[in-house]
Amino acid sequence: MSVRLRQLGVLPFGGWPATAVAIIGVCIYLFPIYWMLISGLKDSAEIFANPPTFVPRAPSLAAFEYVFVRENVLRYLRNSLTIAIPVTLLTLVLGSMGAYAMSRLRNRLVDVAIVVVLLLQVFPEALLATPMFIIFRSIDLLNTFAAVILATTSKTLAFALVILRPMFRQVPFELEEASFVDGCTRLQTFRLVVLPLMKVPLIVVGTLCFVQAYGQFVYGLTLLSQQELQPATVGIYSFVGAEYADWHRVMAFSSIFVLPILVIFLAMQRRIVSGLTAGALK
Amino acid sequence: MPGSPSALLYVFLALPILYLIGFVGFPIAYNLMMSVQEVNLGNITEFIRPFVGLDNYRTVLADESFQKVLVNTLLFVGCNVVAQVGIGLGVALFFAQDFPGAGFMRGLLLCSWMLPALVVGALWKWIFATEYGVANYVLSALHLVGSPIHWLSDPTVALTSVTLANIWFGMPFSMILIAAALTAIPKEHYEAASLDGAGSAARFWYITLPALKPALLAVACLVTIYTMRAFDLIFAMTQGGPLDASNVLPLLSYQFSFKQFDFGVGSAMGSFAFLIVFGVALLYVRTLKQETAS
């Protein structure tokens, strides 16, 4: 195994020297994230210090306190969650149904359906925002969470179908046949045999869909004009809109917002990576 | 078998597909319809609107900002594809080596891709701030630049700045996909090549690269698709400015609709972007089919 890997080689050395190079490289690459986190810990004098400090001289939570008290961070986070959680659930329900059907049916209709999904997942939200705005306006859903939830799910659902389809295929037919023999209907088999086996993939895909919905910006911006309903992405955007910004506060707001994502990612890194690679190239 | 099992499967298949057709297919069709109509705030909720033929498309083609932004879009997407696939391949090869912590650190890079694009835009706006930004500080401390660069306000630099930020954002995803394709290359190929006395450069050129070709093409398509979506990042960093210097098609189309309320022209502009994305998507689907077939 190790022989093969070294044969791919671009470096004349492996082992610990390569680890050292990798650590330095990863630290440089992820420096912007570190910069975001520590910028939020600086006060209004230190944030504009020249030269900038790479470790906060006097770390303070003042910027965090400010955004909680004055910028309604909690309301923005609640709105983001009110959108992201239903999107995730709706995506998982429709996604697991579709992916299961795609993995079990074998005919031209399924081939067409797969191509439809692949093609419909590529369109930029910024372009769909205009017709969505008009459609939701005609059915009087502007300024409701429902509009953003329905719009966002159209993106996460296609993504979930692409990733889940190959995973559902791995559930052996024999298990289902055994369950039919025991007198279960197709629906019972799906609920009691197939879904429990797919628990881990569904959690991974659910996490990825949640992250996408949580960070969604365009539909929140377009479909919600009432500030009380807007998600945190729109809140951060209006906070940086100005030429001059209180960067320590913007970065404190951003840090609070992305911290859950980073924690979830670090906890599930391995599974997320393998989930992503399973869908996109197969 | 109890009941008619496959009937349920067809229902399962129909629900998500109908959802996607309703919330993606229908808006696209609606967009096409608007692109041949005169649509303004007055008649926006009506279904029957004045038909103007291809007038909106003529307006778009004659529009100077459109021509400029079309070139920007091609540059932005092109640079992202080359850089993300090129750097992604290099980094994936590096991590394919056998060293402690390789898999973990490779995955860690994906942190940047997990962040919401809007936050990435806000973050890089701060990094690229002319006076207090860390980018200018580091470059001048290393004596690489004399005077501070106006990353976001200089029309000759703004497109480069948003391109750099987007490469940082997207490269790890390309790299992860390429890394997965790398591990799928059968090791016998390398063993045979070693016996034939092939050096590492020859092995890369004659084995790794040809074996990766379909995957690299698929990744290039995906990067194009994802880069055409880079609305949030640019919106947060420059709003496409100054003077459309860093604007791209989807963003310009959005601005026509929601800033000038000229929904017809905005839709016609969107059609051009749809066309680009759709062409690449077809190529992507074909690549995937070939890969599954082989």
Q: Where are the alpha helices (DSSP H) in A215-246?
A: 218-223, 232-240
pLDDT for residue B2 is more than 70:
no
Alpha carbons B196 and A269: distance in angstroms, whole number: 39
Task: Note the pLDDT of residue B293.
Answer: 64
Average pLDDT over residues B185-203: 81
pLDDT for residue B87 is more than 60:
yes
| pTM score of the predicted model | 0.92
The model's confidence at residue B207, banded by pLDDT at 50, 70 and 90, is confident
Average pLDDT over residues B83-102: 93
ipTM value, please give it.
0.91
Helix (H) or strand (E) holding A141: none
**B151 vs A3, which has greater pLDDT?**
B151
Sign of torsion over alpha carbons B96, B101, B107, B108: negative
Chain A residue with the nearest C-alpha to that of B89: A10
In a domain, B39, yes or no: yes
The model's confidence at residue A15, banded by pLDDT at 50, 70 and 90, is confident
| Mean pLDDT over the full length of chain B | 90
Task: Note the pLDDT of residue A279.
Answer: 63
Task: Note the pLDDT of residue B1.
Answer: 43
Task: Note the pLDDT of residue B80.
Answer: 97
In a domain, B16, yes or no: no
CB of B129 within 8 Å of a chain A CB? The answer is: yes
In a domain, B139, yes or no: yes
Is there a contact between B288 and A282 if contact means CB atoms under 8 Å apart?
yes
- What burial letters (b/e) apply to B2-29, b meaning 16+ CB within 10 Å? eeebeebbeebbbebbebbbebbbebbe
The model's confidence at residue B248, banded by pLDDT at 50, 70 and 90, is very high
What is the least distance, in Å, from the CA of A102 to any CA of chain B?
7
3-state secondary structure chain B: CCCCHHHHHHHHHHHHHHHHHHHHHHHHHHHHHHCCECCCCCCCCCCCCCECCCHHHHHHHHCHHHHHHHHHHHHHHHHHHHHHHHHHHHHHHHHCCCCCCHHHHHHHCCHHHHCCHHHHHHHHHHHCCCCCCHHHHHHHHCCCCCCCCCCCCCCCCHHHHHHHHHHHHHHHHHHHHHHHHHHCCCHHHHHHHHHCCCCHHHHHHHHHHHHHHHHHHHHHHHHHHHHCCCHHHHHHHCCCCCCCCCCCHHHHHHHHHHCCCCHHHHHHHHHHHHHHHHHHHHHHHHHHHHHHHC
Chain B residue with the nearest C-alpha to that of A270: B107
pLDDT digits (tens, 9 = 90+) for B139-174: 999 989 888 999 999 999 999 999 999 999 999 999
Is there a contact between A15 and B176 if contact means CB atoms under 8 Å apart?
no
Task: Note the pLDDT of residue B12.
Answer: 95
Task: Note the pLDDT of residue A2.
Answer: 41
Task: Note the pLDDT of residue B4.
Answer: 52
**B189 vs A200, which has greater pLDDT?**
A200
Sign of torsion over alpha carbons A114, B227, B251, A160: positive
Alpha carbons B84 and B220: distance in angstroms, whole number: 8
Task: Note the pLDDT of residue A8.
Answer: 52
What residues make up the domain containing B97?
A: 35-293
- Which B residues, 97 through 116, put their C-beta within 8 Å of a C-beta on chain A? 97-112, 114-116
Contacts of A75 (CB under 8 A, 6+ apart): A228
Task: Note the pLDDT of residue A244.
Answer: 64
Question: Which of B24, B150, B185 to mutate to probe the A interface, most A CBs <10 Å?
Answer: B24
Domain A66-280, CATH: 1.10.3720.10
pLDDT for residue A114 is more than 50:
yes
Is there a contact between A134 and B112 if contact means CB atoms under 8 Å apart?
no
The model's confidence at residue B42, banded by pLDDT at 50, 70 and 90, is confident
Measured CA to CA in angstroms, residue A88 lies from A94, A150, A213, B67, B140 at distances of: 10, 11, 8, 39, 46
Look-up: residue for tokens 């190239």?
A281
Range in A72-81, B1-10, B200-209 with the lowest mean pLDDT: B1-10
Average pLDDT over residues B26-35: 92
Q: Which residues of B touch A173 (CB under 8 A)?
A: none
Task: Note the pLDDT of residue A51.
Answer: 87
What is the least distance, in Å, from the CA of A120 to any CA of chain B?
7
pLDDT for residue A9 is more than 90:
no
Alpha carbons A248 and A64: distance in angstroms, whole number: 9
Range in B69-78, B99-108, B198-207, B222-231 with the lowest mean pLDDT: B198-207
pLDDT digits (tens, 9 = 90+) for B272-287: 999 999 999 899 888 8
Percent of chain B with pLDDT over 90: 65
- Which B residues, 151 through 180, put their C-beta within 8 Å of a C-beta on chain A? 168, 173, 176-177, 179-180
Task: Note the pLDDT of residue B254.
Answer: 94
The model's confidence at residue B98, banded by pLDDT at 50, 70 and 90, is confident
pLDDT for residue B5 is more than 60:
no
pLDDT for residue B256 is more than 50:
yes
Q: Which sequence spans correspond to the domains of chain A?
A: 2-61, 66-280
**B230 vs A6, which has greater pLDDT?**
B230
In a domain, B244, yes or no: yes
**Number of structural domains, chain B?**
1
* 3-state secondary structure at position A52: coil
